[in-house]
């Protein structure tokens, strides 16, 4: 199961498309499999029901932002085919649609999706979001090289909230010098990672963008319920770096055992979550875990207590859920 949690801070403006997005028929069009493409159809339905993004396409705003020259894009082919697909899903007359043309276009630029075999829905969704981003990237010039922003502190010193806010803003600004689109606006947030030397206590804090969170599924005891929040906390659990995975401490100037901690610093307006149902150890590595993961009331979900950035600590507004 792949869960897309679309957490919106405030109501999105749907002027000109609200009647379509909230009509009895709009978007309620089934996708017919093209071979074993239920994975593709599931991902497409999730994205189709991300209201703010679909409204952007149905209003035609995307046509003014197509980047035909991006070296990493499709020359606009993927975004044009995706827009045509949304038109069929939201304003067409048919009750079903076979997305053969969309699949053919996607396969031209992602040969791994050629043929009619089963693939991973999350893999396709990530490729599609990246492809749409590059086709709509507002940065038309060659992407500049940018240095990573690193906030270093010696043992005993502490980075203040003001320090972290300044570093995160600088890192985000550098990110936008290379990548800026409606996909970034909608789906990208920012992670904070902290490395701490176990010998001298020095820390290095970095801020990196993310498009989705790939969450581990911790084991639970008999009678316990596995919740989405527990998966998020497992993702943020402190990790020890030792053995062959030592960190080169900038203060010790040598490889040292260390700890690494990830946390959400800035939430995107729509949070995409992927549950890692594979990836155990030994024989369990290829075994899919099928237990249910409980998600809180999706009509009013609040993740503020899991976010480090004070600016996101208020009411996070309405949410939508899609499952594949």
Burial of 44 (0-12, 13-18, 19+ CB in 10 A): buried
Q: Which fold has domain 150-279+291-306?
A: Cathepsin B; Chain A (3.90.70)
> Is the CB of residue 227 less than 8 Å from the CB of residue 215?
no
Q: pLDDT (tens digit, 0 to 9) for every residue of the chain, 324 residues total?
A: 343 444 433 333 334 455 556 665 678 899 999 888 899 999 999 999 999 999 999 999 999 999 999 889 999 999 999 999 999 999 888 899 999 999 999 999 999 998 888 888 999 999 999 999 999 999 988 899 999 999 999 988 888 999 999 999 999 999 999 999 999 999 999 999 999 999 999 999 999 999 999 999 999 888 889 999 999 999 999 999 999 999 999 999 999 999 999 999 999 989 999 998 876 656 666 678 888 898 887 767 778 888 876 443 222 223 334 444
Tell me the pTM. 0.85
Query: Measured between alpha carbons, how far is residue 195 from residues 30, 155, 158, 262, 276 in Å?
Result: 47, 12, 13, 9, 24
Domain with CATH 3.90.70.10 in the chain: 150-279+291-306
Torsion of CA 220, 222, 224, 227, to 10 degrees: 40
**Measured distance CA(315)–CA(319) in Å, rounded:** 11
């Amino acid at each position: 199961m792949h869960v897309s949690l679309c957490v919106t801070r405030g109501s999105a403006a749907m002027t000109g498309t609200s009647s379509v997005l909230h009509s009895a028929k709009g978007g309620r069009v089934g996708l017919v499999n093209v071979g074993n493409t239920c994975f593709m159809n599931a991902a497409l339905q999730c994205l189709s029901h991300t209201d703010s993004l679909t409204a952007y396409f149905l209003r035609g705003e995307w046509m003014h932002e197509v980047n035909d020259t991006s070296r990493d894009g499709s020359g606009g082919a993927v975004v044009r085919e995706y827009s045509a697909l949304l038109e069929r899903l939201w304003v067409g007359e048919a009750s079903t649609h076979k997305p053969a043309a969309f699949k053919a276009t996607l396969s031209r630029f992602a040969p791994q999706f050629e043929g009619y075999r089963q693939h991973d829905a999350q893999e396709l969704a990530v490729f599609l979001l990246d492809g749409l981003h590059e086709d709509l990237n507002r940065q038309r010039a060659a992407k500049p090289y940018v240095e990573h922003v690193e906030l270093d502190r010696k043992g005993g010193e502490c980075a203040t909230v003001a320090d972290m806010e300044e570093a995160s803003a600088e890192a985000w600004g550098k990110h936008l010098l290379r990548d800026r689109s409606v996909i970034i606006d909608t789906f990208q947030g920012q992670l904070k990672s902290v490395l701490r030397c176990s010998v001298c206590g020095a820390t290095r804090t970095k801020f990196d963008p993310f498009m989705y969170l790939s969450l581990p599924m911790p084991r639970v005891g008999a009678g316990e319920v596995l919740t989405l929040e527990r998966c998020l906390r497992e993702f943020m659990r402190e990790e020890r770096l030792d053995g062959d995975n030592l960190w080169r401490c900038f203060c010790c100037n040598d490889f040292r055992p260390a700890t690494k901690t990830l946390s959400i610093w800035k939430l995107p307006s729509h949070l995409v979550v992927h549950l890692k149902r594979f990836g155990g150890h030994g024989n369990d590595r290829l075994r899919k875990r099928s237990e249910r993961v409980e998600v809180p009331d999706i009509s009013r979900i609040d993740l503020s207590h899991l976010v480090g950035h004070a600016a996101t600590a208020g009411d996070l507004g309405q949410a939508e859920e899609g499952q594949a």
